[in-house]
Structure 1
């Protein structure tokens, strides 16, 4: 989300209705913007006389996934003086001094934190995914380029669990699989941009035919064809045109799924 748009939405909520809890939270942020990043979610809820669920709902209304992403956006506002003069002058490049390392680390850590928040927030869908995988005839993993390479280790580990899993990036091969996939299968769609035109086409053909789980870049078109999605933050767009940090986030999510799946299968064996 661009900083100017973020600030505009924040001010709009603040001015909407003085009696509304979201308006109160927004005004508190604007009046204490330099201190927000020092607060934990619990502390912020106390200071605004609200609750953690209320803060999370406010974040969603603002267009961010959680409190960590809210703090990240506010930090960007302060860094670019947007909160003071509403002038946007962020250069899309690494600064030629030691700040570039801190800037990279900040974006990497914030992206990782947001991935964790989104994964936890999607636990209901994760449980459905684990159940579907445990019963699936076949598991398919479709992705291109970096996403494909990243998922190779995940695919191998799933095979170690005696699951039939097929990984593919060749367009003709994917097309042939699309014809044979049925409701007893599970399909992973991996796209760090979320907008691969080929994967959009395949996902549209698979919609309502099988269970599709998407690991996708924010705001991508593919997600509308998926049964469930975990979106990958794209904050690194602010420093370069690369998918490096997004790739690390994809690894993180796949690791979480593998850990949860092994625990799920172990408990299933113990209870059967």
Structure 2
């Protein structure tokens, strides 16, 4: 695991999927971050009311081979946090003036992207780009706010002549998943990773041997555990999530990365398609 990864963000995002013992360790770390780099494994175990073995298992759950590597990453994450300590997620408050709202929403969106970059696996991005490049068809699945992300993906990839479609309701998703084949790529978008319609469509897609990519919150959700490739996002810890603002921005960023990755790898061919679509739209606007 790269030292550029922010393990504190990962602990925060994975908290709800921890076992009870893992949560004891994780909560203690999040509540006492400054002292963690100075604790031995035994001291952390005693402070979190667990055991040495439990702390080591927690480190492995977070992707580290041992306690020392975990502590080094904690120290790196603390340094990163100190640099932007003033930039924290801010919830909507009653009576906020527009100036405050503009600043807070802009900050939240920027933080969603920054935190997502801390949890995303770049090797998984590379694998996803290769699958999309060689796919026969790309199909997006998402409900509600996630459906908007699907439509954005459909619009982008259609412009470079990729056969794709977005399905945003449960019935059409089941139908689309049933018709998938082994050379198709299905992209499932769900912040929680537990939306029943999405899981149902995923199960059918996998039975048809389609490759499945998940864009979801960094956790141990059913979607994350079952997909072939998982592209994780990080979302703000705020109580009001009007329009799923934080997750929407993070997911759109992932779609943009995938699109740019495919477009860059196939630039000469893609440039022709983009030019053609740009010209026809420009002509339409003049009429």
TM-score (ref. length: structure 2): 0.61
Task: Quote the offset at 1:212 in angstroms.
Answer: 0.9
Kindly indicate whether residue 228 of structure 2 is the aligned counterpart of residue 227 of structure 1: yes
Q: 1:114-133 counterparts in 2 under 5 A?
A: 114-119=115-120, 122-133=121-132
Runs of 5+ consecutive residues of structure 1 not aligned to the other structure = 24-53, 80-90
Task: Quote the offset at 1:154 in angstroms.
Answer: 2.4
Task: Quote the offset at 1:55 in angstroms.
Answer: 7.6
* 2:216 alignment partner in structure 1: 216
**Does the CA contact (< 8 Å) of 1:232 and 1:249 recur in 2?**
yes
* 1:82 alignment partner in structure 2: none
Which deviates more, 105-114 or 158-167? 105-114
Q: Tell me, in whole angstroms, the C-alpha distance in 2 between the residues paired with 1:192 and 1:69.
A: 28
Could you say what secondary structure the match of 1:207 adopts? helix
Kindly indicate whether residue 32 of structure 2 is the aligned counterpart of residue 8 of structure 1: no
Match of 1:71 among 77, 81, 91: 81
Change (3 A) 1:177 1:256: same
* 1:150 alignment partner in structure 2: 149
Task: Quote the offset at 1:194 in angstroms.
Answer: 2.3
* 2:73 alignment partner in structure 1: 58
Q: 1:11-26 counterparts in 2 under 5 A?
A: 11=32, 13-14=36-37, 17=40
Kindly indicate whether residue 199 of structure 2 is the aligned counterpart of residue 176 of structure 1: no
Change (3 A) 1:56 1:70: farther
Could you say what secondary structure the match of 2:266 adopts? helix
Cα deviation 1:211-262 (Å, max 9, x = unaligned): 1111113433311111111222221x41413301211111111111111110
Runs of 5+ consecutive residues of structure 2 not aligned to the other structure = 1-11, 16-22, 46-68, 271-287
**Does the CA contact (< 8 Å) of 1:150 and 1:251 recur in 2?**
yes
Change (3 A) 1:96 1:141: same
Number of equivalenced pairs: 218
Task: Quote the offset at 1:167 in angstroms.
Answer: 1.2
* RMSD over aligned Cα atoms: 4.1
Q: Tell me, in whole angstroms, the C-alpha distance in 2 between the residues paired with 1:168 and 1:97.
A: 37
